[in-house]
């Protein structure tokens, strides 16, 4: 009769037993007999509640997926002859994206005769990279792609770190607001008493 190496429900070694005895022990303990290592000689089986095991492993997988940070690439489009105020606005968007932990793809669109002056776009991208150097780094250098010039800027901090900082700031702000409301309520409670 074939034999298996049996492991108990708490991880203790029961020893090498026949399959019939292992099934009998599983029925007595009201557990399932699960083959853990089929390639071992003899195969390793464990007494466990298989439904509970499947549920717990699914919950662990879900938790791991939830904690995973998804990398998002945001895109900003510029023209070579951009107005200074418009440049500052676009730079503000890039700063916001980098603070959130997202990558930014900066595209400069050339039209007509602008295509013969790619150095204007290159200088503009270099200027933008220098302006946001404390928040991000140039992941891919500016390169011409048909009518466009493209550069990718990556954040120094990870998406998960940015989320944690944002949550901490939100919690701090909530605590500050609660303290302010409590102080105002105390001041209002004292004001009528002093008026009498």
What pTM was computed for the model? 0.55
pLDDT at 190 (0 to 100): 74
Same domain, 48 and 30: yes
Same domain, 151 and 77: yes
What count of other Cβ atoms lies within 10 Å of the Cβ of residue 187?
A: 9
Token pair, residue 189, equals 């409670």
Tell me if 194 is assigned to some domain.
Answer: no
pLDDT at 87 (0 to 100): 94
Tell me if 129 is assigned to some domain.
Answer: yes
pLDDT digits (tens, 9 = 90+) for 142-191: 999 889 999 999 998 777 677 777 778 888 888 888 778 777 777 777 76
Compute the distance between CA of residue 73 and CA of residue 153 in angstroms, rounded to an integer. 9
Tell me if 37 is assigned to some domain.
Answer: yes
pLDDT at 131 (0 to 100): 92
Q: What are phi and psi of 115, to 5 degrees?
A: -65, -25
pLDDT digits (tens, 9 = 90+) for 38-97: 888 889 999 999 999 899 999 999 888 887 767 789 999 999 999 999 999 999 999 999
pLDDT at 193 (0 to 100): 52
CB 101 within 8 A of CB 155: yes
> What rounded mean pLDDT belongs to the chain?
86
| Structural domain count, the chain | 2
CATH of the domain at 37: 3.10.20.80
CATH of the domain at 106: 3.30.110.10
């Amino acid at each position: 009769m074939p034999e298996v190496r049996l492991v108990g429900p708490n991880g203790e070694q029961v020893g090498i037993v026949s399959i019939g005895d292992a099934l009998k022990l599983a029925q007595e303990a009201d557990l399932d007999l699960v083959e853990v290592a089929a390639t071992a000689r003899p195969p390793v089986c464990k007494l466990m509640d298989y439904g509970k095991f499947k549920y717990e492993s699914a919950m662990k997988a879900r938790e791991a997926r939830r904690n995973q940070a998804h990398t998002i690439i945001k895109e900003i489009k510029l023209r070579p002859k951009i107005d200074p105020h418009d440049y500052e606005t676009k730079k503000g968007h890039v700063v916001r994206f980098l603070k959130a932990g997202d990558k930014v793809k900066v595209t400069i669109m050339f039209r007509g005769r602008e295509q013969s002056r790619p150095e204007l776009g290159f200088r503009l991208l270099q200027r933008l990279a220098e302006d946001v150097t404390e928040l991000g780094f140039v992941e891919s250098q500016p390169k011409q792609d048909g009518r466009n010039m493209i550069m990718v800027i990556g954040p120094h901090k990870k998406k998960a770190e940015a989320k944690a900082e944002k949550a901490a700031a939100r919690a701090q702000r909530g605590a500050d607001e609660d303290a302010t409301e409590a102080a105002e309520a105390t001041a209002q409670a004292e004001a009528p008493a002093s008026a009498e």
